[in-house]
Structure 1
Amino acid sequence: CAVAPPILGEHQESIPYVGPIYGGLRSGMSVYIQGVIPHEITSFNMNLQCGESEGSDIGFHFSPRFDNWDKVVFNSCQEGEWGSEEEIHNMPFSKGDAFEMVIFIKQEGYQVTVNGQDLHTFNYRIPVERVNALQIGGDVSIQTISIIGGGNPGDDQIGGNLPVMCGQPIYNPPVPHSSIIPGGMFLKKTIVIRGMVPLGANSFSINFMVGSSRDIVFHLNPRLQESVVVRNSLIGGSWETEEREISFNPFLEGQYFDVSKQGTGLCQNYYPIPYIVNYF
């Protein structure tokens, strides 16, 4: 089914995007997407398709449209013919804001949540087993795409250079927060922690620990009043030498941030472990 050429926003280097979903979709899986809505937006779309080529059948078409009647449109396209639209006028996206979206593959259809809130369930019109590709276009910037529940970590990757994660997203956990990392850390596994530094904050810490010994293999400690980001490890009850050097402090009061943390085989290489910090 033909899609109109997207009107690209300011930060659209990776858009339009199309990539395979290895092994296809099935009930019990989910698609996790994290991105940012630009201030100047007309619309964007996400399609779960039966192939990567233009003109492929679209099992699930998701299109937020910012106009005088802001709405989200759901549809499907089969053999070049669009079906009947389903519309939601409760717009869950805000201009200039980041978002997290999950499409749960249920028995009856695609259940969509945005920022942890249920939005709509779109019943299947095309068998979900035929869906094997994701296409994204329009005014949107995408940071993360993850296919959850597709088997081992290698099976979950959908292609491209975007980070890939496994596991169920956790929304708005209370702080302090502690949880198990299913399967532990391994090469190229990515943990993304997203939050906001409140006004007047002094410091906070993120620790990656060995459950049996309670060793901290990676300690990330932004100290707002000192304008430093301390990195360290605690092995056998003793702190190692702090690392404080950083080109700039990405943690600012009143700003959102992303910490993307990648494993490098924690059993062999305790420290340092690569991390990337972005903020909005």
Structure 2
Amino acid sequence: MAGTVYNPQLPYLGGIPGGVHDGTQINIQGTPHPHHHQNMFTVNLKCGASLDPTVNTALHFNVRFNEGCVVRNNCQHGSWGSEERHGGNPFQRNVPFDISIHIKHNHIKISVNGRHFCDFNHRIQMHHINTLHIDGGVGINSISFGGKGHGGHGQHHGHGGGFPQPGFPPAAASFGPPAGSMMPGQPMYNPPVPLTTSIPGGMTPGKMVCISGIPHSVCQRFTINLQCGPMTGEDIALHFDVRMQLPGDSQQVIRNSCMGGGWGGEERQVPYFPFQPNANFDIMIMAEQGKFKIAVNNQHFAEFHHRLRPLNRINTLNASGDIRLTQVRFQ
């Protein structure tokens, strides 16, 4: 598979590597929560990296336990289409499931636990889809992307039509317990870029964000934001912008903040430039009472004094640009 996210925090909002084409496949493995007050969960294929419900949604796949059905729909220009409800509900509370979403030329083919469940005819052209969103009363073990154009030909393993088994992911770094254990602080492995994910409990003094990745062979820039919500335009407490091969501004690491739509003063002073194309990096950002301390490859790199308070408003990590992420964890 082109990329797999293990044990993401919900709501999950992440890019689909390589975009969506005829043949794209997304596999989701998880377990609905057992609690009766959590009556639904949702998988959305969106046309924008936003939790705003009015963003165009090509597929809204809504499992409703209290109604015994799975509603399929779309949203375009802020208006919902006609619901499709036939097929019953193949999901059970507290019972693991495998969902396979297979993009075809004219429709989206959806299988549950290795059996065909439904087709959903395209109401929005597939090439507009770029974001996967999951939310509700469910725990997700893994999200895998593959199929045509994603390097996933013939690479499926396991049961139910090619779903990855929970367990320690291949070539995982040395931190953390095996994936699938759902323990606090569990890393996300190989998440797609752009990545937008919640920071469990928000930032507090002593909280650390650890990001490992590899810049592309041709990398102009990549950016890591600690921000106050998942949407574009939110306040950004720390903007960490690595400019590797940007014309006229290469080998710079800019730190800044953005509040109320206005950017603050840039901080550019660095002791060295630690990033190279195709070379692994580890960035560690620790929150202290008065500042963020940033280390790269286990060496102190920079400090950034807090401009935004309280710290627990900072609840989202966003990473984008010309990189492949290999691991993200919070501790």
Q: TM-score, normalised by structure 2?
A: 0.46
- In structure 2, stretches of 5+ residues that fail to align are 1-6, 183-331
* 1:129 partner SS: helix
- Identity over the aligned pairs, expressed in percent? 32
Cα deviations by residue, 1:190-247 (Å, 9 ceiling, x for unpaired): x943xxxxxxxxxxxxxxxxxxxxxxxxxxxxxxxxxxxxxxxxxxxxxxxxxxxxxx
Q: Which residue of 1 aligns with 2:111?
A: 113
Within 5 Å, which residues of 2 pair with 1:1-280?
A: 14-40=9-35, 41-53=38-50, 54=52, 55-67=54-66, 69-149=67-147, 151=149, 167-171=155-159, 192-193=164-165, 258-263=166-171, 276=178, 278=180
Question: Aligned equivalents of 2:170 and 2:78: distance in 1?
Answer: 42
- Check whether the contact 1:57–1:78 (CA below 8 A) recurs between aligned residues: yes
When structure 1 is superposed on structure 2, of 106-115 and 118-127 the one drifting more is: 106-115
Specify whether residues 73 and 152 from structure 1 end up closer, same or farther in structure 2 by C-alpha distance, changes over 3 A only: closer
- State the AA in 1 paired with 2:59: F
* 2:21 partner SS: coil
Measure how far apart 1:15 and its partner are: 0.9
CA RMSD of aligned residues (A): 3.0
Question: Aligned equivalents of 2:144 and 2:81: distance in 1?
Answer: 27
Measure how far apart 1:22 and its partner are: 3.0
Measure how far apart 1:106 and its partner are: 1.1
Q: Which residue of 2 aligns with 1:241?
A: none
How many aligned positions are there? Answer: 169
Choose between structure 1 and 2 for higher RCO, CA contacts under 8 A separated by at least 6 residues. Answer: 2
Structure with higher strand content: 2
- Check whether the contact 1:51–1:57 (CA below 8 A) recurs between aligned residues: yes
- In structure 1, stretches of 5+ residues that fail to align are 1-11, 157-165, 174-190, 194-257, 265-271
Specify whether residues 172 and 59 from structure 1 end up closer, same or farther in structure 2 by C-alpha distance, changes over 3 A only: closer
Measure how far apart 1:261 and its partner are: 3.6
Specify whether residues 38 and 80 from structure 1 end up closer, same or farther in structure 2 by C-alpha distance, changes over 3 A only: same
Question: Aligned equivalents of 2:127 and 2:8: distance in 1?
Answer: 31
Question: Aligned equivalents of 1:49 and 1:172: distance in 2?
Answer: 26
Measure how far apart 1:137 and its partner are: 1.0
4+ runs deviating over 3 angstroms: 150-153, 277-280
